[in-house]
Amino acid sequence: MKVYNHSYIYMPAFSMKTGTEPSLRVYYTLSDVGANQTVLFANPNFLRSIGKFWKSRGIHAKRLSTGLFLVSAALGLCEEVAIYGFWPFSVNMHEQPISHHYYDNVLPFSGFHAMPEEFLQLWYLHKIGALRMQLDPCEDTSLPPTS
C-alpha cells in the first residue's frame, strides 16, 4: 500500500449489501496498520440520486458501474476530469481483445450494467468539453489522439 502514498480508496460499502462487510474490513485493517490512505464510502443518498439522474438520461441497468459513480463524483468535485478505461466493447478500436475490468478477464453479467449507454453519455460529456475521455492507451504515443 506504500506505493499509493496519501491516496483515497473508494469502497462500495453501501452500494450493495455484499460490499459492506469487506469494505469495513478494509477500513479497519488500514486503520490498524496506520496506512496513509483514506478509505471513502459514498453516502447512500448520493448513490440513489446519481442513479436517478443517469436513469433520467437513458441509462437503464440493475446497477450503474462503479466507474460512472466515481466520474459523477469527480465532475462535482474537480475542475478538470480525465477518464480512461470506459470502452464498453470486447475489442478495442484496433480489433484487439480487451477485458471488461482492468484487474481480471471476467465478462460482465448480462443486464447488470448498461456499459454501452454509460459510454454514450460519457462520450457526450467528452464532446461538449465537460470531461476528457482517453480511448487509446496513454503510454502508446504512436497512435493519434482520440477526438
Cα distance between residue 23 and residue 15, in whole Å? 11
On whether the CB atoms of residues 126 and 84 are closer than 8 A, the answer is no
CA distance 76 to 66: 16
Q: Which residues contact 65 (CB under 8 A, 6 or more apart)?
A: 113, 115, 118
Q: Is the pTM of this model over 0.75?
A: no
Question: What value does the mean pLDDT of the chain take?
Answer: 84
pLDDT of residue 20: 92
Helices (H), the chain: 17-32, 44-55, 66-77, 115-127
- For 53-100, the pLDDT digits (tens) are 999 998 887 788 888 989 999 999 899 999 988 888 878 888 887 776
Measured CA to CA, the distance from residue 99 to residue 41 in angstroms comes to: 26
* Residues annotated as part of the active site: 113
Instruction: Name 84's bridge partners.
Output: 134
Residues 6+ away with beta carbon under 8 Å from 72? 50, 53, 54
**Res 21 pLDDT > 70:** yes
